[in-house]
Amino acid sequence: MRAPSQGARGRPINAVAPSAGQDWDSERYARNARFVSTLGEDLLALLDARPGERILDLGCGDGVLTAKIAAAGANVLGIDASAAQIAAARRLGVEARTADAQALSFDPEFDAVFSNAALHWMKQPDAVIAGVRRALRPGGRFVAEMGGHGNVGAVRTALGAALARRGIDAGLHDPWYFPTVEDYRGRLQAGGFVVETISDFARPTVLPGAMVDWLETFAGAFLAAVNPNERRAVLAETAAALEPSLKNADGSWWVDYVRLRFHAVKPAGGS
């Protein structure tokens, strides 16, 4: 096993545990998922990064938003569970390294922790929140957007049905955590944060390609549970089931995204 890399103050960053079956091919991601960072851009306004601030980008993916935070003059570190995504982020010139956001070991050294479209891959939210709190200086902020309750509900249902027809319980392989506002607010408060704002909203999103491309990019954990000879059929059945609701008259596809967005603060007196 590779030796763990060192944290900002020499403490080890824990070994990485990406979602089982979900691989991040950075070229496929750029082709099928560029909208994720594009739609995340207005979250940067909520972050309001200032020159000289030290900022942690949690689940930085291919680093497109990390680079924008750096362009605002902040000193930003991106972390992600995927080595392929970290390699892509480094190609943009940002400081980035692989790490498990569910086992952060930073000292209180960041002015802000930012996260776009990553927290819903982390099924141990209390561990994430505790690590973020430790990583923040007193008064530091946690600004994030993730999938909210009901996110990609139609897609999840159709995938679940295709797996069930093969005797597979999709719930056992589901890598996603889409909390309600009440759930995540409660966890943030229990974790020692003051929640300044938190809300959810629908964001129906037109895809750059076909539903099958989206499934291949994001639903790898479900597909990995299926016999390789059956995967094409599962993709085709899922897309066929979704066609009446998620395919537009012009042939484009959309996905039923719901976002959960919040701004929470570690109290100034907190350690």
Which residues, listed in sequence order, are joined to residue 205 by a DSSP beta bridge?
255
Q: Which is nearer to ligand BEZ, 106 or 176 (CB)?
A: 176
Give min distance, CB of 227 to ligand BEZ, in A.
22
- The correct pick among 257, 261, 263, 266 for binding ligand BEZ (CB under 6 A) is 257
Q: Which is nearer to ligand BEZ, 83 or 202 (CB)?
A: 202
- The correct pick among 104, 152, 163, 242 for binding ligand BEZ (CB under 6 A) is 152
- The correct pick among 13, 86, 117, 221 for binding ligand BEZ (CB under 6 A) is 117
Residue 147 as a binder of ligand BEZ (CB under 6 A): the answer is yes
Give min distance, CB of 52 to ligand BEZ, in A.
31
Distance CA 229, CA 90 (A): 36
Residue 151 as a binder of ligand BEZ (CB under 6 A): the answer is yes
Give min distance, CB of 165 to ligand BEZ, in A.
22
Calculate the dihedral angle through the C-alpha atoms of 40, 218, 236, 256, rounding to the nearest 10 degrees: -40
Calculate the dihedral angle through the C-alpha atoms of 218, 145, 169, 227, rounding to the nearest 10 degrees: 10
Distance CA 34, CA 196 (A): 29
Residue 142 as a binder of ligand BEZ (CB under 6 A): the answer is no
Residue 63 as a binder of ligand BEZ (CB under 6 A): the answer is no
Residue 176 as a binder of ligand BEZ (CB under 6 A): the answer is yes
Distance CA 115, CA 146 (A): 8
Residue 115 as a binder of ligand BEZ (CB under 6 A): the answer is no
Helix (H, G, I), strand (E, B) or coil at 254: strand
Task: Evaluate whether 57 touches 115 at the Cβ level (below 8 Å).
Answer: yes
For residue 247, the 8-state DSSP code is: B
For residue 69, give both structure tokens.
Answer: 């935070």
- The correct pick among 24, 29, 142, 218 for binding ligand BEZ (CB under 6 A) is 218
Give min distance, CB of 147 to ligand BEZ, in A.
3
Alpha helices, DSSP H only, in 191-230?
A: 211-218, 220-223
Q: Residue number with the shortest CB distance to ligand BEZ?
A: 147
Q: Which is nearer to ligand BEZ, 253 or 257 (CB)?
A: 257
Q: Which is nearer to ligand BEZ, 152 or 188 (CB)?
A: 152
Residue 114 as a binder of ligand BEZ (CB under 6 A): the answer is no
Residue 220 as a binder of ligand BEZ (CB under 6 A): the answer is no
Calculate the dihedral angle through the C-alpha atoms of 37, 107, 187, 157, rounding to the nearest 10 degrees: 40
Q: Which is nearer to ligand BEZ, 14 or 205 (CB)?
A: 205
Strand order of the β-sheet with 54-58 is: 95-98, 75-80, 54-58, 110-116, 136-147, 254-265, 194-206
What is the binding site for ligand BEZ (CB under 6 A)?
117, 120, 147, 151-152, 176, 218, 257
